Structure 1
Amino acid sequence: MIMNKKVAFYTLGCKLNFSETSTIARNFNNEGFDRVDFAEKADIYVINTCSVTENADKRFKTIVKQAQKANPDAFVAAVGCYAQLKPQELADVNGVDLVLGATEKFKITDYINDLSKNDFGEVHSCEIEEADFYVGSYSIGDRTRAFLKVQDGCDYKCTYCTIPLARGISRSDTMANVLENAREISAKNIKEIVLTGVNIGDYGKGEFGNKKHEHTFLDLVTELDKVEGIERLRISSIEPNLLKNDTIDLVSKSRAFVPHFHIPLQSGSNDILKKMKRRYMRELYVDRVAKIKEVMPHACIGVDVIVGFPGETDEHFLETYNFLTDLDISYLHVFTYSERDNTEAATMDNVVPNNVRSKRSKMLRGLSVKKRRAFYESQLKSTRTVLFESENKAGYIHGFTENYVKVKTPWNPKLVNTLHQVELTEIDDDGLVRLKFVETLIKAN
């Protein structure tokens, strides 16, 4: 491998992709490459793709053009979910030299020889059944927070989703490896770990996708809670049917796990949930929210919801809207349904027109703003712990409380990557919360 070549990365999609990009970047580093920003001139550009939304597909071509503008002679490689699902489509994009599927992406340095441009995009992708091994990864994007991958793949058959096709069967990292990665992160003076995966509540399926459950998700969070040096642990997203009472109780009593849950709902209509082949009905979701609020009244609860699914009538949508209005949740992530090839939903009748999808999406985004505002108002005058981040944004430093209230205070570089107890005082015009310090430093940088 040629020494001191430059490599740049662009990541589309989820926290899991960010953790995997970081791992791939460390592999390049071990091969003697220097990592530079994507806007800079590099010898190789690696684009980690996403297939969840149509928009991510379209953005790929734009990103390739960005790379070519920075260096027309650069070698361009595509990896990730879209690369697994439609490798030839990516290979046909002008300027792309290499496309790697699910099993090959972590071996990318093995495929790069002299970095000379190819006449055609070269594809190395597997049948997804071959993606039956596990590669652990974690990302360190800034000094305050790291994404730690604990699980990959999914055995669910949701009718709108391509992730099982792109990532394969559900499989988990070993407990020992997750704990070792957590300790490595801790040694880098990072204060918060966000657990990530495709379906992390399914943690425990063996390293090769077998059904032998050596450890459960509860076992994992119990052990992670004991890792010294990590001040905060956050569960990124967990299916309602896999979020058990014992996990909720553990978080409520935990040393490090924070009272913040992100729980996909997708629809507030049982008719639509059945068409989506989700593994719960709305009644279970109500039960989960009630349990969390019973033991942690101040907990933040985020919700994923899809609008415009085939067959979603105005009545179904209003059912979802009213359901969410009445639910004690804190914010929404709203996804406008988009057809994905090779999914059951793509062949369903009663397609919702795009303008109707857009209108419904706008309504739910408006509801999310109201929900977040109400949640922030409920937290005013309370004392919380804030972890401050590293950016100076227009003269302010931002941070998050343990229960995910976003705060701001005048910029002070000494606050970066430190934890402080504060009182939440008022909501500013930009929707962020102002604070006053109520103590001296909790954890120094």
Structure 2
Amino acid sequence: MENRKKVAFYTLGCKLNFSETSTIARNLEDEGFDRVDFEEVADMYVINTCSVTENADKQFKQVVRKAMKLNDKAFVAAVGCYAQLKPEELASVDGVDLVLGATEKFKLADYINDLSKNDFGEVHSCEIAEADFYVGSYSIGDRTRAFLKVQDGCDYKCTYCTIPLARGISRSDELENVLKNASEISKQNIKEIVLTGVNIGDYGKGEFGNKKHEHTFLELVQELDKVEGIERLRISSIEPNLLKNETIEFVSKSRTFVPHFHIPLQSGSNDILKLMKRRYQREVYTERVNKIREVMPHACIGVDVIVGFPGETDEHFLETYHFLNDMDISYLHVFTYSERDNTEAAAMEGVVPGNVRAKRSKMMRGLSVKKRRAFYESQLGTNRTVLFESENKEGYIHGFTENYVKVKTPWNPELVNTLHEINLTKIDEDGSVRMDFVTVLV
């Protein structure tokens, strides 16, 4: 019997990248490859790249070195956002054999022959305007939950962001195909699906630049709520101007959608939001949070915030800090602004010194710790549903409640991928919550 080649994957960046990695992996398995862990010796290593932060760029070189250490004769392919934005840069990294841009990454099998190493990295990229078609994706088998891609690309022109350059125009999967993929996932005994995309609130735009919305995001969640066999559906990051009150109200009464929203703010200063070319002012953000709290007092609300954007004075930063401190939110994802090539912000005046950016980031991260602690404390004594994950961390198994409280209990492999009703009892030293079992659900 012919020896099947082994392929390993490493994913940098967002949930959307994880869903696409899984789809590429399934395609290669259909072509006769066996997928192995990245820590193992493989014939080919595929790195799905990210370009959102400077750190993600540096990570790429580290991952290539790691692959070469495992097998210096292995074929190394780079795909994803960084591969689209800076293909020649990636191709020049020692050990890289193939770089595929936005339109080619799902056709990886077409570009590999005998897996012999190239003298230099071969590039197949496109003008991003050519990325006008949609490829549906979902991750499965990687985690307890699945990431289901429903949308790709972005028509927004935020001055700090390279994603439209890396992924192209906003376009969506057909509703029927999303429902088909969700149904496939449900048959794999996966309990939770996370909806992902670049700008999922813009769901409904068709292919080839068709700006007409065939369906709305609200219609998407309404139809997904009817899919049999799914215990939980979670909405990943969604823009505040696209999160409508009708969607919030539907989630509050939904069978499967959980009370957890992640809503990018980026700045609590209207002056800075204008410089960023965001499509809302902070008052809209306040309205969204108040609406969620009105219908789902126990909901978890996460916030993205950028510190150190050009023109952000101490006063602007403190405006954001106090805005978030006064708001009933649950945690922050803090990003320190870093200049990205070919963005408007990179040429803006009022550059914030690196040490000031670092100080502001530290303050915001401290606020996030405080907010998460306050949210967890507000949940003590309540009964929630936990879905346990598969990792044994220092003798404990962890899981998340429907409203995204991280809980722990002594390791028991029988708990993996099971749902339980629990009572949240106390906050541990590591910040997670101890719990008592109430009943087994699934």
Query: TM bucket by the smaller chain?
Result: over 0.9
Matched residue, 2:419? 419
1:294 and 2:288 aligned: no
Matched residue, 2:352? 352
* Matches of 2:158 and 2:391, distance apart in 1: 39
Kindly tell me: are residues 173 and 239 of structure 1, through their superposed partners in 2, closer, same or farther at Cα, counting changes over 3 Å? Answer: same
Matched residue, 1:57? 57
1:118 is matched by which residue type in structure 2?
Answer: N
Write the deviation string for residues 92-116 of structure 1: whole angstroms up to 9, x where unpaired: 1111111000000000000001111
Query: Over the residues paired in the alignment, what is the CA RMSD in angstroms?
Result: 0.9
1:135 and 2:118 aligned: no
1:235 and 2:266 aligned: no
* Matches of 1:11 and 1:288, distance apart in 2: 32
* Matches of 2:207 and 2:418, distance apart in 1: 36
Secondary structure, aligned partner of 1:261: strand
Q: CA deviation at 1:296?
A: 0.2
* Matches of 2:310 and 2:411, distance apart in 1: 48
Counterparts of 1:423-434 in structure 2 under 5 Å?
423-434=423-434
Q: CA deviation at 1:138?
A: 0.4
Matched residue, 2:87? 87
* Matches of 2:429 and 2:66, distance apart in 1: 35
* Matches of 1:209 and 1:395, distance apart in 2: 51
Matched residue, 2:330? 330
1:156 and 2:163 aligned: no
1:192 is matched by which residue type in structure 2?
Answer: E
* Matches of 2:339 and 2:141, distance apart in 1: 32
Matched residue, 1:442? 441
Instruction: Check whether the contact 1:170–1:202 (CA below 8 A) recurs between aligned residues.
Output: yes
Matched residue, 1:391? 391
Write the deviation string for residues 367-406 of structure 1: whole angstroms up to 9, x where unpaired: 0000000000000001111111111211111111100000
* Matches of 1:80 and 1:378, distance apart in 2: 40
Matched residue, 1:191? 191
Counterparts of 1:31-430 in structure 2 under 5 Å?
31-430=31-430
Secondary structure, aligned partner of 2:364: helix
Q: CA deviation at 1:141?
A: 4.6
Identity %: 84
Gaps of 5+ in 1: none
* Matches of 2:6 and 2:141, distance apart in 1: 19
Secondary structure, aligned partner of 1:255: coil
1:376 is matched by which residue type in structure 2?
Answer: Y
Q: CA deviation at 1:144?
A: 2.0
2:441 is matched by which residue type in structure 1?
Answer: I
Q: CA deviation at 1:213?
A: 1.3
Secondary structure, aligned partner of 1:391: strand
* Matches of 1:395 and 1:280, distance apart in 2: 46
Normalization by structure 2: what TM-score? Answer: 0.99
* Matches of 1:411 and 1:430, distance apart in 2: 16
Kindly tell me: are residues 154 and 3 of structure 1, through their superposed partners in 2, closer, same or farther at Cα, counting changes over 3 Å? Answer: farther
Instruction: Check whether the contact 1:251–1:259 (CA below 8 A) recurs between aligned residues.
Output: yes
Q: CA deviation at 1:209?
A: 3.1
* Matches of 2:86 and 2:280, distance apart in 1: 31
2:218 is matched by which residue type in structure 1?
Answer: L
2:228 is matched by which residue type in structure 1?
Answer: E
Normalization by structure 1: what TM-score? Answer: 0.98
Q: CA deviation at 1:143?
A: 4.9
Aligned pairs, number = 441
* Matches of 1:418 and 1:64, distance apart in 2: 36
* Matches of 2:185 and 2:404, distance apart in 1: 21
Secondary structure, aligned partner of 2:88: helix
* Matches of 1:282 and 1:369, distance apart in 2: 22
Write the deviation string for residues 134-163 of structure 1: whole angstroms up to 9, x where unpaired: 000001254520000000000000000000
Moved more, 412-421 or 139-148: 139-148
* Matches of 1:76 and 1:437, distance apart in 2: 47
Instruction: Check whether the contact 1:143–1:189 (CA below 8 A) recurs between aligned residues.
Output: no
